[in-house]
């Protein structure tokens, strides 16, 4: 019965109206992608919601859900920093760090933040209580089934069932230099049954995403996120050295939209019936509709919407208007029947 429930998208007729993707309750079909808005709130006065100033001009509580930065058992500096309370006088140092972890490239962005985060305990203590008005998808990541079990247990202890939309298992990030193929089945088998919250599996286009989606269905995952960033590389044309501190990075933005659409369509063509939250290059209503036609049940705004060149951030209020208009259109949109 639980598996059958996951196969159908039904309207949520409860007091908080919205949609349901299997067991995942969303306020509408537009969510935000992991990391782009930090933890849904931050300590910075300039970037109050995390990494993007644009978010200051958009009501985050109106989204279907806000997906957090990936959090791990212990704090990680990654290839960036856990610090988020930068002062204006520290801006040059911050920009230098960004230059080593994030670069604008043709058609998108290349990043290698490397799961920089404050750790699950600090997140649950210092950030989550300040985002109760938002519907939250908590992104969690680890390097073993045991770490995912620990993360699930900590969330279970701190967050009552039904208080968040879901846990998103990030078992597909290239920026931490780890082959997740070797642990994914153990993670799903051991951690999913322990969770008091619905689980979403985030798929990579660089792994066997059809096989991973089938594993997800086998082990009781409620929905899929497709896709994570695409592994990429840029070199300094003068020196031949990588632009990013990590060397390789994750490509996001408009350039990967055709890949995201391909993955969603191939999942449906392979008879994968779990609900899909699609992400990859989404910026406009037409982008959303393309993903819905391909077979997605909801869509997620990532770097194509929340990132801008540094001078471009001066136009954050205008970007905010565009995103609010998109949100209004999606709030009452029903995807085509499959």
Active site residues: 173
What is the DSSP secondary structure assignment for residue 242, as one 8-state letter? B
Residue 78: CB atoms within 10 A of its CB come to 20
CA 111 to chain centre: 14
Report the C-alpha gap between 245 and 217 in whole angstroms.
Answer: 36
Q: Omega into 227 within 30° of 0, i.e. cis?
A: yes
82 and 75 Cβ atoms separated by less than 8 Å: yes
What is the DSSP secondary structure assignment for residue 244, as one 8-state letter? B
Helices 145-158 and 184-191 cross at an angle (nearest 10°) of 30
- Residues 311/316/321/322 CA torsion (nearest 10 deg): 50
Q: Residue 274, SS3?
A: coil
DSSP E strands, the chain:
9-12, 18-21, 24-26, 30-32, 65-67, 102-105, 108-111, 136-141, 166-170, 199-203, 223-226, 230-232, 249-252, 276-279, 298-301
């Amino acid at each position: 019965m639980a598996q059958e429930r996951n196969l159908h998208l039904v309207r949520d007729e409860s007091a908080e109206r919205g949609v349901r993707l299997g067991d995942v309750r969303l306020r509408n079909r537009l969510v935000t992608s992991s990391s782009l808005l930090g933890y849904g709130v931050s300590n910075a006065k300039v970037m109050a919601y995390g990494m993007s100033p644009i978010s200051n001009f958009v009501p985050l509580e109106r989204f279907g859900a806000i997906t957090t930065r990936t959090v791990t058992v212990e704090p990680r500096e990654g290839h960036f920093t856990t610090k988020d309370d930068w002062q204006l006088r520290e801006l040059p140092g911050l920009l230098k760090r960004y230059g080593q972890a994030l670069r604008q490239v043709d058609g998108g962005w290349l990043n290698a933040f490397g799961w920089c985060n404050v750790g699950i305990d600090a997140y649950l203590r210092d950030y989550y209580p300040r985002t109760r008005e938002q519907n939250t998808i908590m992104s969690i990541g680890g390097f073993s089934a045991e770490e995912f079990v620990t993360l699930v247990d900590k969330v279970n202890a701190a967050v009552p069932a039904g208080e968040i939309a879901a846990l998103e298992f990030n078992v597909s990030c290239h920026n931490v230099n780890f082959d997740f193929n070797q642990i994914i089945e153990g993670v799903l088998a051991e951690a999913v049954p322990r969770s008091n919250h619905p689980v979403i599996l985030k798929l990579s286009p660089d792994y066997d995403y059809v096989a991973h989606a089938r594993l997800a269905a086998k082990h009781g995952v409620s929905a899929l996120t497709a896709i994570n960033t695409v592994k990429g590389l840029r070199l300094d044309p003068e020196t031949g050295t990588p632009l990013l501190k990590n060397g390789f990075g994750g490509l996001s933005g408009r350039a990967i939209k055709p890949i995201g659409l391909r993955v969603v369509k191939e999942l449906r063509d392979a008879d994968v019936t779990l609900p899909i939250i699609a992400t990859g290059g989404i910026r406009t209503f037409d982008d959303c509709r393309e993903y819905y036609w391909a077979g997605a049940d909801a869509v997620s705004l990532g770097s194509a919407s929340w990132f801008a060149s540094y001078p471009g951030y001066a136009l954050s209020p205008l970007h905010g208007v565009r995103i609010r208009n998109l949100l209004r259109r999606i709030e009452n949109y029903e995807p085509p029947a499959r």
